[in-house]
Amino acid sequence: MVLTCKYFLIKRIYASVLIVLLFFSASGCRVSYSFSGASISPQVKTLSVQYFQNRASLVQPGLSQALTDALIDKCRAQTRLSLVNGFGDVNFEGEITDYNTRPLTVGADSRAAMNRFTITVKVKFTNSVEPQYNFEKTFSRYEDYDSRLNLSDVEKDLSEKIIALLVEDIFNAAFVNW
């Protein structure tokens, strides 16, 4: 009797699982998985990244190219999308709007002890397949550095760190829909 009840219960569980699986397959449920956490519709095939112009009051040569290239590299490494010239199924465009350094904390001698180096980027993301994911946002990141150092001495390293953080934020806003 106990063996018959266990057998009946197991059959019922299998039947329930089968019904649930059939329901999801019949409803056209599509799920895409990625090791990067990116959730991209299978209909999205191409990607384009327009050149990010530097419109900040302080223009650092090479910053526009570094940001644009870093975003392209991130998308290539973390998605299956093909990069195209012009406009792809998803498109990034924007501009660097701020690039500055400011005193952050003041020491006992009324001099800045730390400075904050900031880069701000305005981004327009267009998804022609799933327009509900389109956005226009401003992303800003900073790094602090000792005020005894000249910005020119630390600028390259700080810029690289900030660009990596900005690209991560932009990528997550576009493709990681948590």
**Percent of residues, the chain, with pLDDT higher than 70:** 76
Pick 6 or 163 by higher pLDDT. 163
**Are residues 136 and 122 in contact, defined by beta-carbon separation less than 8 angstroms?**
yes
**Are residues 141 and 96 in contact, defined by beta-carbon separation less than 8 angstroms?**
no
Q: Are residues 86 and 155 in the same domain?
A: yes
Q: Are residues 121 and 157 in the same domain?
A: yes
Q: Are residues 139 and 116 in the same domain?
A: yes
Q: Are residues 170 and 109 in the same domain?
A: yes
Q: Are residues 17 and 66 in the same domain?
A: no
The pLDDT of residue 105: 76
The pLDDT of residue 88: 97
The pLDDT of residue 58: 86
**Percent of residues, the chain, with pLDDT higher than 90:** 66
For β-strands 112-127 and 135-146, DSSP reports them as antiparallel
11-41: per-residue pLDDT in tens? Answer: 565 555 545 444 444 444 433 334 446 789 9
Give mean pLDDT, residues 72-84.
Answer: 96
26 within a domain of the structure (yes/no): yes
The pLDDT of residue 111: 73
Helix (H) and strand (E) counts for the chain?
A: 3, 6
**Are residues 158 and 117 in contact, defined by beta-carbon separation less than 8 angstroms?**
yes
Q: Are residues 1 and 78 in the same domain?
A: no
Pick 93 or 2 by higher pLDDT. 93
Pick 22 or 95 by higher pLDDT. 95
| Full residue range of the structural domain in which residue 105 is found | 43-175
148-168: per-residue pLDDT in tens? Answer: 899 999 999 999 999 999 999
Q: Are residues 94 and 20 in the same domain?
A: no
Question: Please, which residues have CB within 8 angstroms of residue 63's CB and are 6 or more apart in sequence?
Answer: 54, 96, 99, 119, 159, 163
Spatial separation of the C-alpha atoms in residues 156 and 56, rounded to whole Å: 17
CATH code, domain with 113: 3.30.160.150
Q: Are residues 24 and 82 in the same domain?
A: no
Q: Are residues 101 and 56 in the same domain?
A: yes
67 within a domain of the structure (yes/no): yes
Residue 138 clears pLDDT 50, i.e. is over it: yes
118-132: per-residue pLDDT in tens? Answer: 999 999 999 999 999
Q: Per the structure, how many domains does the chain have?
A: 2
Q: Are residues 59 and 98 in the same domain?
A: yes
146 within a domain of the structure (yes/no): yes
